[in-house]
């Protein structure tokens, strides 16, 4: 049995793979055989990608947590906004805590209907 782990396209580093794939794409465009997406095809591909990403509950919870933290920035009315933000990081309840946002993100996926 021979060792094939150091051979082939898949074993190359990502930069080399990208370089080779790019050359292939350029050649196809020059030859006129490259597929160009219609706006409808692009829309459908984006929808499918969004659905796939949203299935990762941990990822979506992280996004919700970041959004919750982001929405609290700049809400202080004092002159020392930066120091207030640092002192109160994650302690504000305006709009819910980051933990509540995370929990809500996880819960929303449980309620999602699938086709």
The tens-digit pLDDT sequence of the chain (115 residues) is: 555 567 888 899 999 999 999 999 899 888 888 888 899 999 999 999 888 888 888 888 888 888 877 776 655 544 444 444 445 555 545 577 777 777 777 766 555 555 4
pLDDT at 43: 93
CB 102 within 8 A of CB 59: no
Residue 107 to residue 64: CA distance in whole angstroms? 12
Residue 102 lies in a domain: yes
Residue 13 lies in a domain: no
Instruction: Write the CB contacts of 81 (distance below 8 Å, at least 6 apart in sequence).
Output: 74
Residue 50 lies in a domain: yes
Residue 26 lies in a domain: no
pLDDT at 40: 93
Domain residues for 46?
39-66+95-110
pLDDT at 84: 47
Residue 46 lies in a domain: yes
Residue 82 lies in a domain: no
Work out how many domains the chain is built from and give that number.
Answer: 1
């Amino acid at each position: 049995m021979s060792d094939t782990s150091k051979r082939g396209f898949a074993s190359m580093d990502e930069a080399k793979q990208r370089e080779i794939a790019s050359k292939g794409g350029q050649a196809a465009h020059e030859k006129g055989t490259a597929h160009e997406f219609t706006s409808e095809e692009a829309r459908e591909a984006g929808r499918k990608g969004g659905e796939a990403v949203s299935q990762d509950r941990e990822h979506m919870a992280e996004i919700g947590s970041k959004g919750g933290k982001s929405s609290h920035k700049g809400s202080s009315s004092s002159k020392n906004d930066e120091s207030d933000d640092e002192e109160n990081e994650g302690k504000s309840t305006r709009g819910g805590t980051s933990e509540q946002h995370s929990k809500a993100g996880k819960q929303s996926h449980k309620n999602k209907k699938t086709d």
